[in-house]
Structure 1
Amino acid sequence: MKKLLLTIAVAFIATKGLAQAPTNGLVAYYGFEGNANSHNGLSNMTNMTGTAVTYLSGGNGTGQTANFNNSALQTTAIAPQITNTFTICFWQKNAAPQAQAYATRFQMFDSVFYRNPNSTGQWSRGQISISNGSWVGPVMDTQLANNTWQHIAITYASNGSFTRWVNGVYDSTLDSNVGFANLIKYNQILSIGGGADGSGNFMASKAFNGYIDEFYVYDRALNSAEINQVKNDTDGIPSVSGVVSSDALFQNTNAQITNVLNANNVSTTVSLNWGDSPTLLNTVALGTITGNANQTFVTDLNSLTPTTTYYYQLAFTSGSTTTYSPVYSFTQSVIDAFRFNNSFLSQNGTLYLGPGPSGTYPGFVADRSGNTNSAVFLKNYEALVSGNIPTLPTGNSKRSVSFWFKRARTTPVEYHSIFEWGTQTTANAYGVTIYENNTVTNYGWQADVTSQTATALTTNWDHYVVTYSDNKTVCIYKNGALIRTGSQPNWNTIGNTLTIGSKAGGIPTNIYGHLDDFEIYNTTLSAAQVSNLYANGAALLSNQNFNSNNLKASIYPNPAIDYFTIEMENEVKSVEVYSIQGQTVMISNSKNIDVSNLSKGMYLVRIEDENNAVSTQKLIIK
């Protein structure tokens, strides 16, 4: 199946009535609906202290609000986006009294604060203080009622002046003449609910005890009307937030894009625009998202050209407003696959497996759907070895390997060595061993990750996937489920000769089992992709459309180039050619099939005769 993984956060804007907050110049919006993620996922905040921020119901906007008590949030992602002017708007409620001298609602760059003044008895007052090497303040004092929600807006204009609005009403202006360069000369942190020193360290004297909700950051100075729009839009900027991802899977002529979206309680229709150029001429309607739970959409794209770069973009429509995600691209990044369809040639037709230490090839057996000579039987020294494969992932690069394995006898053997490449020194090899106690080891040679012991192996076909990510995390999956994670930061695979059914160099093994659909990727498959690989493969091969009904038929030549012929006793009623993902790519009623328009790869051919008997054959097109 494919693979380039794209992990992204996607945002959309929806119409929410006449008081909708402006989106022009919006850098980040935090609704604090159980998390500190920004509306577009690009400026998510993290806890600034060991004390985590909590989220309570009953905020001034919809849903929840952030509760600060000796805790704070921070991000450095906003600083590069503020280049000259800005606006910050938020709702706040004091939990009286404020014990800290400088209880800070927000702080930018260790230069701009909105906080309590350092004066006895003024715990309920708010002020802006500015530092450009020396303190300016207290300034712009305004009485802030305790235990009452108030809306605060502060703008910084290009002339260096600060202006404040309280509850949507103009309050005061400070002509600071500080200059923007002086505002950003210290740390690059924006913090909420507390402040830091010039090095970015949290200061207990700046902790705020209270609630903050509906926090907006703009890269321009809003006017009075716009500030009131922000104030009155307590639904905020609807967003797709939380764990949001978009994964593009592309192999041969088919791609599968899995989007995980969260509507944040805004009913929105979603479509996917795609094409082989950024103009994105094709549109696929995905459906409607509602509620506040992650929702998954899987989109299949067919008749693609291998090695071509494709582009796609998500469009979100609510009411009369449509907004878009950035444009993302993907290309085929699967290294290769071995289907063992009575051949040791790879699916792409570029790699060939030679015999292992025994000098003889292992035999072929039926695959997991009963197709004859469509899987390989590996036992002891009957392994398979490739020549050098320059594209094999080496060093500490990300990777994934997927395969189906079936134990072939009940007499215990110590272990089954499925594959390996690399050098057999510490952390320099890469492979998988399955043990009789059902543990699975993804190893780097004395630097391994092993699943927990479960029950003994059965003689059923099982699907396994191992992945290694950019953050050096190892994941082991069995039948679509994650069974183990671990960290291996020191892996450094050296060497690109692939051995299947033995360890590299011919070290003896006791492998005794059937192997099928062995795939190598130079990317990290996500949990959703692994699940799809397992579920879609199982569904494809067990679908009633592919059930065999004792029809004796064969196809030749196989592998084919431009055509293949069906050899059978009766007349053909129908011939359907399917991609490995289950899409119909050709229908015919002839015994001679022209496949010159199909791309290289593996296909399934469903043959039905005049008596309604059915046979399914694997076909490789070179």
Structure 2
Amino acid sequence: NGAQVVQQTFEGDNTQQWFLTWQGNGWYRATNVATAKALDNGGTSNVGENLVTQPWSGANSQLWKFTPDGDGFWRIESANSGLVADVNGGSTADGANIIQGNYTGSDSQQWLFGVASASQPIPPTPTGLAAAPASISQINLSWTGNPGAISYNVKRATVSDGPYTTVAVSVNTTNFSDTGLLSATTYYYVVSAVNGSGESTNSTQASATTLAAPPAAPTNLTAILGANQVSLSWTAPAAATSYNVKRGTTSGGPYTVVVSGVTSTNYTNTGLTNGVTYYYVVSASNAIGTGADSTEVSVTPSPLVVQLKFDETGGTIAADSSGRAFHATLVNGPTFGVGMFGNALVFVTNSFATAKYARLPNGVTSGITNFTVSTWVWINSFSTWQRIFDFGTGTGNYMFLTTQYTANAPDYAKLRFGIRTTVAAEQYVSGTSIVLPTNAWTHVAVTRSGNTVSLYVNGALAGSGSITLNPADLGVTTQNYLGKSQWADPYLDGNLDDFRLYSHAMSAGEIVALANPAAGAPLQLALVPGYGQATLSWLPNATTNYTVKRSTVSGGPYTTIITGLTNLTYTDTGLSNGVTYYYVVSGANTGGYGPNSAEVSITPSDLGLNLKFDENAGTIAADSSFRACNATLVNGPTFTVGKINNALTLASSSSQYATLPTGVLNGLTNCTIMGWVKLNTVTTWQRIFDFGSGTTDYMFLTTQYDPGANANKLRFAIRTPAVPESAANQLSSSVTTPIGSWAHVAVVLSGSTGRLYLNGAQVAISTTMTLNPSSLGTTTLNYLGKSQFGADPYLNGSLDDFRIYNRALAAGEIAMFQTQLAAPNSLDATPGNAQVQLTWNNVANATSYTLSRAGNSGGPFTAIAQLSGTSFTDTNVVNGGTYYYVIRAANFTGESPDSLPVGVQLVSLAPPYLSFTISGGELQFNWPADHTGWRLQMSTNLSTTNWQDVPDSDAANSVSIPFTNRNAFFRLVYP
């Protein structure tokens, strides 16, 4: 290694012969035939450095380019220095060193090549192959190298003598580490030598077995909490013989070993502190060692065994929120209704035929001695022996709490707790001092501490006595009822809320606290918008009266609208349509007011119906207004291309029409009814709409009321049983309606004035109107395309964008519907650091804009902002990401089409990969497109003060520059 290369008179021996191997990109490796070592420039760029031979490493110092230099001669150029092979001092003497120097074109730098032979001999077979395990996944190999070998191929099999698979080629050393292997597995290896002439035969086989691995991590670690303890279980990995349970009080550790050598796949850790959160992992061990930890689980021990909040709204399961999964199953249809805290479980049954109750899982009381049962009960009526709970296995083994054990004074309507087993007679404690009320929420509790059992009503002691039996004496109970007895006793007629079972006896003070909860924030606050109003509803949370507060700014400050409410609903009237209001509700009890509820918001609207008919199929056309008065399609109307997106097409020959819900006109006095219609044919009395309850109570718009002089002219009419149809309550058009094209029709009622519009122009007016939609009462037959009169024809045409407003629109507003808003133009997106600044032109008559974003130009686009201005900064983006945006305008008439999409790519701030090629005397630099905006800089050294920007390199992700300086450094910087 390191032998200097010299010039010598040619003698033909192999020390003067070199084998050239193509390495790609114009570079070769030159290997001496005698030594099998590669020509090397010493790894430096120093002029005058001696060329030497070294073992092949693939470094640039061993790569050479051969370039024609005229008259059949060649120059030899180093890859890492750019210098060329040169005879030192231009000497012609034997033994002169070959050095590297700057290219001058002198004779001492020109070389003549002759082919000594077409190939060198195939190398001998490697010897001395040895294999040794290094780990559970690695085996190390070594062998004796051969002269003439340029590289080696390593081959592996899993059975002795193969077949072998090549696992490594062009190995240029005489050792190799094979990784990624299976543990405790035997592998068989051979090695062959390679040069330019070919590959040797395989070496003698060597084998080794990877080290055995400890067990994998246990899986499915679960924790079931208890009072001062937690029960862990897990799934065993293969080859595990024992387990180590570790615990910490911080997620992720550090962990302390709780127990080692556990041979089962479960363990109960006792002596914990209730209320403290613990974090557990388990590892498996065997004779080889201990494996990795399992996934972490956490648990907070608690004496709470069961807590049924009954806050569901439907279904047959009441969830246990204690963490022990003692969920209750509802039998025979108990329901959920308003409770003390949110919802409650409603039994309401006096009949055995419809007996309703709930059932808890087996073993809910197993192992419990001291205990507390706490619940809120609402009693509708008393029946002797009706149960709050009864846990047991039948009439000889149970424990129960009843609301009444006798109907006789003075002990009626008083609690009794009883317990018995198959070997011990019933023991009980009765309430002696407090009568339970009806039709009010009452807190009841029973505790056992030692042999003392105490009964409580609304936090006050109602009775106590000695009982030697405890729940553990019952064994595993299988009939655990709420509202039902082990006996044929009456079922509970009432409701339960917040049922709890604890595995310890609570103190009298703790019972008082449960019976007198602080007022909580009202739950499930909901809003229903209306015409200039909002109806709020909520559920109690230990609250009995309420205050409603409102703001026009999210988060407040709020103004009190009303206080002292005892109902769970309130309608706030006199609101401005189109304004967004924010509401909270607070509740109070005897202890004072609680916090505000979660905020909800609403925007009242005067648009009470909007059927866009943009569906593609089905029997429902959705109402997009706040009222959700969806239309039901009858006899198969279809959705076709409409005036705006899709439309509803009705075929009179198939008696097709649509019907709207009962009461769709409720509350309407001044109003506007409008829509687009496209008539295929016109027949007398065919209806666009007809709302009413029969042939003496209706309001309609027909396309023709007279086939003669007034053919194809609209008429609106309204009547009631008391006021027959007359000219006073009619609007008849003076203009014919086009056939085969879309026309906009509108009826506007304001006091005694009615107006009829066609395509934005008023075509009829009456100032003698005495009726309005509210005059009809609650209409039950509300048709589109059909008449109240069975003999009248069905509409033959299409409808689109049918609307009802709770106010009389002005003529200018009606006219605005004739032309769809224009799409915003000049949408511009400017990228920034983790943000995009967007701007667009204002659209005439637009009152708001919807900005949408997608990951590609074709969408789908998702709305990200509702805006009133013409600019927006999108900060929900990441550097390096590509985003596309569209904007559409809106006003009360509807929305414009989307603008043309605009795309933007944010500059990535991650260090990029810089690559280059050389072509035609230029360097062509390239970097990732998401790094457009980075600047290419150049320096002739690595000094931090000598970097210069390449002009305009930040305008794209590539640049070409002349290659005039052979010693240059390049980098990308941002910004």
Question: TM-score w.r.t. structure 1 length?
Answer: 0.40
Larger radius of gyration: 2
